[in-house]
Amino acid sequence: MKPNALLVAASFGLALSAASPVSAQNAGQIAAVRNGAHCPRCNLFQADLSNLTLKSKNLAGARLRQADLSTAIMNRTSFAGGDLRDINAYGAVFTGASFARADLTNASFVGAYLQGANLSGAKLLGVNFSGAEMDRATGLKQGQLSQACGDDSTLLPRGLSIPRCR
């Protein structure tokens, strides 16, 4: 190998070893939550929590990115400050849940029930709220909803509107 090629290869190897490792899901933490445990700041990446009833749980700050929460019932559960990017929450029930300061980028809440849910400071970029019932949700601002989308059946708090999904 030529000296320059050796230097490039060595530099590339150092760069790879210095990169932060990808944080995979934690199967033990997912199993604990599926069994009803509180799990703040847990790594629940790609967890299948669909069809579960998990009421009043503390999942604040948890990483639920790409998790499946479809048709789950998670009333009064705290997801505050969590990473919920790309979740599927189709038809889920989140009465009184807290999503305050959570990152919900590109999440799907199609047909979800969010009455009394706290969405203060939540990042809603690309979120699909088609058919969602959220007219009694709290903490919502027009600027948040302008980055999301819904349809004619999306119920919003009085005075707020949402762009139509394409």
CATH code of 151's domain: 2.160.20.80
> What mean pLDDT comes out for the span 128-135?
98
Indicate whether 107 belongs to any domain: yes
Indicate whether 41 belongs to any domain: yes
Asked if pLDDT for residue 83 goes beyond 50, the answer is yes
Instruction: Give the long-range contacts of residues 22-28, CB within 8 A, separation 24 or more.
Output: 23/63
Closest CA to 92 of 135, 54, 118, 124: 54
Asked if pLDDT for residue 11 goes beyond 90, the answer is no
Q: Report how far Cα 36 is from the mean position of its chain's Cα atoms.
A: 19
Number of domains in the chain: 1
Indicate whether 12 belongs to any domain: no
Instruction: Please give the Cα distance from 128 to 111 (Å, whole number).
Output: 10
Decide: helix, strand or coil at residue 73.
strand
Indicate whether 8 belongs to any domain: no
Indicate whether 146 belongs to any domain: yes
Indicate whether 72 belongs to any domain: yes
Asked if pLDDT for residue 158 goes beyond 50, the answer is yes
Which pLDDT score is estimated for 9?
42
Domain span holding position 129: 24-157
CB contact at 8 A, 136 and 116: yes
pTM for the predicted model, two decimal places: 0.86
Q: pLDDT tens digits, residue range 112-121?
A: 999 999 999 9
The conformational region for residue 116 under phi > 0 = left, psi -120 to 50 = alpha, else beta, is left
Indicate whether 152 belongs to any domain: yes
What is the residue-averaged pLDDT of the chain?
A: 90
Instruction: Please give the Cα distance from 65 to 78 (Å, whole number).
Output: 15
> What mean pLDDT comes out for the span 37-44?
97
Indicate whether 7 belongs to any domain: no
